[in-house]
Structure formats: structure tokens, C-alpha cells
Structure 1
Amino acid sequence: MALQSTQGFWPVAAAIGGNFFVMVIKFFAAVSSGSSSMLSEAVHSLADTVNQILLLIGLGRSIKKADESFEYGYGNERFFWALISACGVLFVGAGVTLYNGISALTKPHEVEFSALVFGVLLVSFVIESYTFFVAARALKKDFPRANWSERLSRADPSTLSVYLEDAVAVLGIVVASASITLSYYTGNAIWDAVGSVLIAILLGAIAITLIVKNRSYLIGRAMPEELQEEVIELLRVEPAIEKVIDFKSVTVGFGVYRIKCEVEFNGSALLREAYRDKALRAEYEEVHGDFEAFKRFCADYADRIPRLIGKKIDDIEAHIKKLHAGIRHIDIEIN
């Protein structure tokens, strides 16, 4: 699979380009104005750029083909790098921004109010809004029938990361603008410092959200409950299966699952399957009264049933994979 066709690639690529440009102009404005909020915004954009590069690395590594070392593939690389990215948002983005805000609170300094600062904020707002729109559009395309709460819950970590980070970026620009304006009109630089602290809190909140989500995938998150119920129902309606004793699933990549289930086969159904072309009574008539023929029948029967079970399991697995392409690995065990 080409990287460009990987789910989450375009939102991440757009965010990298947009955030890099925004980072450069924000640092320029921060140095020119001496604004704590503007510096916090610049650090925020720097953190976003680096973190989204990490997301891109994860996407690239997640599409590597399975090999002898990783027989189920490298799909979880996406979650690992997204987790590292989320930690970067927490420690670099939120941490440095909070430190900068607290420093400004303890040592207030004059903030320069200029058209340059607001020009940079306006350009940043437009660019961040666009990358936010790209991520939102991708979520809507991936889950057209879901509401926004369900989309955010089911979204792949890369697209979700871009969506949340850009949402905070847009909101952060509004906070920075309000903080700088209040500092100018009140003559009190504390508003600028408060703006930095608020931005840090927002960054910390989304970082923790992303860390929790990626952690759940890395420690073996099960497939969605509704999908699990559908697969169990497919097994239950199969005539050859008497009952499903145990069912487990694990995510091995975004939208890619491995399932393991223990079932009890229906002996009568297997018997009918084994002798559907030749009546069992006819077999009985052939071996009746002939012990050697009966032994041959038993040997043939003992050989036929395991092969029939194996073929039936292969058919069931193929049927499940046909209906649910994301289920790539299936292990059916007989009780």
C-alpha cells in the first residue's frame, strides 16, 4: 500500500506544511513584540510540527509487510509513534508553554501591541482553520453515518491528533489575541501570562486524551463491540457449529484485527456433510457382516472427519474475511 493512500496521510501532511509556516511567522512576531502568549503560540506550533512528523513516520512504518520477526505486520507502529507524538504535546507543547506563562506571571514585562502581531495571528488563524478543516473532512468521509462523538471515538489516532491539535491551535489563537488586547488596554501584562497558561491547559488536555487512546491500542484493545457481536452471530448461525465457547480479539493495526475463538462442532451436521453424496445406510449394507470391511469403513471415517472439519473451518474463516475485510487473522479452535 502506498503511503499516500494510507488513512490519515493527507490530514497529517497538510498539518505539517501549515504548522511549519505558522511556526516561523509566530516566532518572528514573538521576538518582535515580546508577547508571552505569542511565544507560547510559537512553541505550540513548533511542537505540533515535530509531533506531526512523528505521526508521518508512524504511518510510513505501519504499512511495512509482515516478516519473520513480526508475523502479524507492523500496524501497531502507527499507535507507538502517535503515543510518542502525544507525549511531545504534553511535555514540549504544554510543559514549555506553562513554564513560559508562569514565568510571565512572576516577572511581568511590557507587551508591544502592533499590527504585525495581529497580522501574524490572522494568517495563522486562516492556515490552522484550513488544516483543521482537512482533518474534519477526513473524519466525516471515514464515518459518514456517525455523529461527531462517534467519529472522534472511532477515528484513527493520526487524524484525531491533527483534528484536536488544530482545534486547540485555532482556539489558542483566539486566546492569544484576547490576552494581548487585554494587556494593551489594561496596561497589565498579567493577561498575556494568563493566556499562556490557558493554552498550556488546553494542550495538556488533548495530550492526555491522545495518550490514553493510543495506550489502549498498544496494550491489546479489542475490536469494536458491534463488530464482535456480528462475527459471533456469524459463527452461531453456522450449522456445523454447536456453540461458541470463547471469543477474543485484538487490534493489530488501525481497522485490522486478529480473532481467536473456541467452538464446539455439531457432530450431526458433520455426519450429514460427510455422507451427503452417499447414504449412510448404503455404507452400512456394504460392511454389514464383514468385519474387515467395517474396519476399512472406520479408518475411512476417521480420516474423512478431520479433513472435513479443517475444510469447514477454512470456509468459515473465508466467509468472515469476505464480509469483514479488516479481520485479517482468524484462529478457530475446536473444544
Structure 2
Amino acid sequence: MEAGGSKSVIFIAFACNLAIAIAKFLAAAWTLSSAMLSEAIHSLVDTSNQLLLLLGIRRANLPPDAQHPFGHGKEIYFWSFIVAMVLFSLGAGVAIYEGFEKVLHPQALQNVSVIYAVLAVAMLLEGYSTVQAVGEFNRRRRSTGQGFVTALRASKDPTLFAIVLEDLAAMTGLTIALFGTFAADFGGYYWADGVASILIGCVLAFVAIFMSSEIRSLIVGEAASRAVQTGIREIIETETGTDKPIRKINEIRTMHLGPQDILVTASVDFDNWVSARTVEDVTARLQTAIKSRYPEVHNLFIEVQSEQTFAASKKESHVQVVGSAAH
């Protein structure tokens, strides 16, 4: 359901941006507006980005194979990172370049009424896309009780927060273009059109840098949310304690392999009196309980390891890391 929600938001954004991009390019050619050209390039980049995100979703849904035993979930992170790079290099780069050209060589706008008409239509279409994207994002955010910015940074679904950020950047860019056009049209400040283009490029650059930073963390390997980690620990603790088969939880590790795909490994110390059959029964109960509560946990591995053995392995691992660093 979550992936379906993201995909529908992407389709809406794609349709809106494609229509807006065509209208903006026609208006830019007709009016010689640098800000409008920057906005047209922005919409074209957003349109191509939505295709890349759809490609990422398709690739991420490929089944596991011999070379990718845990599936292809991280494909979505890779393609989302490409989206951030395209947004920065093409969207921001071209907009800033065009802006400086217009500031250095200002010229009067032509057929300004066309610019206003296109900006009005673009704001309506982009506004609709933004409402849909932010609405889907808020629907997921409310379940966690997080603030908007906090939820953006904590989100594990780059396809959704990329669309949210792109739409918000688009609305900001349209507003800047409108003010730049007002200044050039009514104030006679023809260079304001170029300044608006530079500001639009800066907005795109900021969004691209923010996106790339967040997606980089997911590509490297980001843990599940604190709530999920706490919930998994609570489930394992039901089998832990006096007169319970598990003596101690040595360690629990989690990692997102995709927005709705979590890998979990847990090292637990069973009591000495526990039989092999009991270990199998307890492990099966824990697997069922954890996967029932958190369906996104697709891969769960419970390792039976004494506290002493676990401590020794951690110490040995630390020595190996230090030794490698010394070399």
C-alpha cells in the first residue's frame, strides 16, 4: 500500500510537470524571459526525475537472485540519488547560468501577459500536485507524531520525499519567477528577471544537497526507526529473564534494504538448561511475532551466542579493525 501511494503521487507529478514544462518552454521562447526559461528547465528536470523514480521502483521490486540474495530494494535509493544529482547539475546549474547571463545583459520582456498566464496555470497544476504529495506524506507522518522536517529526515521512502521537496521547490520557484516578472514589467528592472533565475537555481541546489545527504545515509545502510527497534527488543524480551529460555539479549541490529524492507539480526544468549528443541520453538515464536507486528521485516536472523562468546567476538573484531587501520 505504501509503495502504491508513492507511485500514484509520482504519476500525478509527472503529468502535471510535463504539461507545465511544455507551456513554460513556449512562453520562454515567446517572451525572452530568463526566469521562465529557468522554470521550464526546472519542470523538464522534474519530469525526467519522475521517470527515474518510477524506474527505481520497478527495479527495486525485482526478486532476489544469486548475486542479490536480499533483493534489489536499494535500487530505489540509487535512482533517487541520481535524481538529486540531475536536479543539482541540470536544474540548478542551468538556472544560475541563465540568471547571470540575463543580469549581465538585461533586456525587456516581451508579451508579458503570456508569462502571467503560464505562471497562473503552472501554479494551479503544481499546487494540485503539491497538495497530493504533501497529503500522502502527512498521512504517513501522523502515525509517527513527528514534525514535518523531522519526518522528512527520518523517512525511508526517498520516492515520496523527493516528490514533496520537488513540488515545494517548484511552488517556491514559481513565486520567485512571478516577483521577478513584476519587477521587470512594472518597475523597469530588467535585471530582476535574471536575479529571479539565480534565486530559482539556489532553491534547486539547496533541495538537491538536502536530498543527496539524506539518500546517502540510506545507501550506506540506515537502521530502522527507534520505534521499530524498541518494538523488536520488547518482543524478544518476552522470552528473556528468570525462568525464561533467553538469559540475555547481546545485540540487535537493523538495516533498511528498501523503504518497506528491513533486515534484522539478533544475538541472544540462551540459558544452559535449554534444549535444542526449545531453542527452535522460541526462535520460531519470535520470528512469527516480529514479522506479524512488523511486516516490513523481510529478513530476520536470530543467532544463539553466549555472552562470553559474543564479547570475545566483538573484541576480536575491534582488534582486527585497529590492526587494519595501523597498516
Q: Which TM class, normalised by the smaller chain length?
A: 0.7 to 0.9
Q: Counterpart of 2:102?
A: 104
Equivalences for 1:233-312 in 2 at 5 Å?
233-238=234-239, 239-268=244-273, 270=274, 305-312=275-282
Provide runs of 4+ in structure 1 moved above 6 Å.
none
Output the CA distance in 2 between the equivalents of 1:125 and 1:177: 10
8 Å Cα contact 2:30-2:111 kept in structure 1: no
1:170-225 CA deviation, whole Å, 9 max, x = no partner?
11111101101101222222111110111111101111111111111111111111
Question: Secondary structure, in 3 states, of the residue corresponding to 2:142?
Answer: coil
1:148 counterpart residue number: 148
Counterpart for residue 15 of structure 1: 13
Q: Counterpart of 2:131 in structure 1: which amino acid?
A: F
Query: Aligned equivalents of 2:245 and 2:11: distance in 1?
Result: 49
Q: Distance in 2 between matches of 1:142 and 1:160?
A: 11
Q: Secondary structure at the match of 1:264?
A: strand
> What residue in structure 2 maps to residue 316 of structure 1?
286
Q: Which residue of 1 aligns with 2:78?
A: 80
| Cα pair 1:168 1:202 within 8 Å, conserved | yes
The one-letter amino acid paired with 1:41 is E
Of 33, 37, 40, which residue of structure 2 is paired with 1:39?
A: 37
What is the CA deviation profile of residues 254-301 of structure 1, one whole-angstrom value per residue up to 9, with x for unaligned ones?
A: 032101121111234x3xxxxxxxxxxxxxxxxxxxxxxxxxxxxxxx
Query: What is the aligned counterpart of 1:136 among 134, 137, 140?
Result: 134
Aligned to 2:48: 50
The C-alpha deviation readout for 1:104-131, integer Å capped at 9, x for no partner, is 1222222225211110110000000011
What TM-score, normalized by structure 2, do the two folds share?
Answer: 0.87
Q: What is the alpha-carbon root mean square deviation over aligned residues? A: 1.7
Contact 2:112 2:185 in 1 (8 A): no
Counterpart in the other structure of 1:24: 22
- Which whole-Å CA distance do the structure 2 matches of 1:44 and 1:149 have between them? 23
Give me the whole-angstrom Cα distance separating, in 2, the residues matched to 1:130 and 1:7.
Answer: 16
Deviates more, 1:239-248 or 1:200-209: 239-248
Alignment partner, residue 230 of structure 2: 229
Q: Secondary structure at the match of 1:219?
A: helix
Letter in 2 for 1:178: F
Task: State the one-letter code of the partner of 1:151.
Answer: A
The separation in 2 between residues aligned to 1:123 and 1:306, in whole angstroms, is: 69
1:56 to partner: Cα distance = 0.8
Cα distance in 1 between the residues matched to 2:163 and 2:185: 32
Q: Which residue of 1 aligns with 2:198?
A: 197
The runs of 5 or more residues in structure 2 that have no matched partner are: 306-327
* 2:141/2:148 contact within 8 Å kept: no
User: Structure 1 unaligned runs (5+)?
Assistant: 271-304
Q: 1:150 Cα deviation (Å)?
A: 4.1
SS at 1:267's partner residue? coil
Question: Which stretch shows the higher mean deviation, 86-95 or 150-159?
Answer: 150-159
Task: Give 1:134 shift.
Answer: 1.0
In 2: Cα distance, 1:134 partner to 1:114 partner = 30
Aligned equivalents of 2:162, 2:149: Cα separation in 1: 15
Cα distance in 2 between the residues matched to 1:178 and 1:163 = 23
Residues 175 and 199, structure 1, Cα contact 8 Å, conserved in 2 = yes
Instruction: Compute the displacement of 1:5 (Å).
Output: 5.7
3-state SS, counterpart of residue 110 of structure 1:
coil
Distance 1:93 1:149 in 2: 23
SS at match of 1:187: coil
Find the aligned partners of 1:64 and 1:110 in 2 and give their Cα distance: 53
Paired with 1:144 and 1:185, the residues of 2 have a C-alpha distance of: 44
Give the drift of 1:306: 2.3
8 Å contact from structure 1 (residues 6, 59) kept in 2: no
Q: CA separation in 2, counterparts of 1:217 and 1:136? A: 21
Would you say the 8 A contact 1:113–1:180 is kept in 2? no
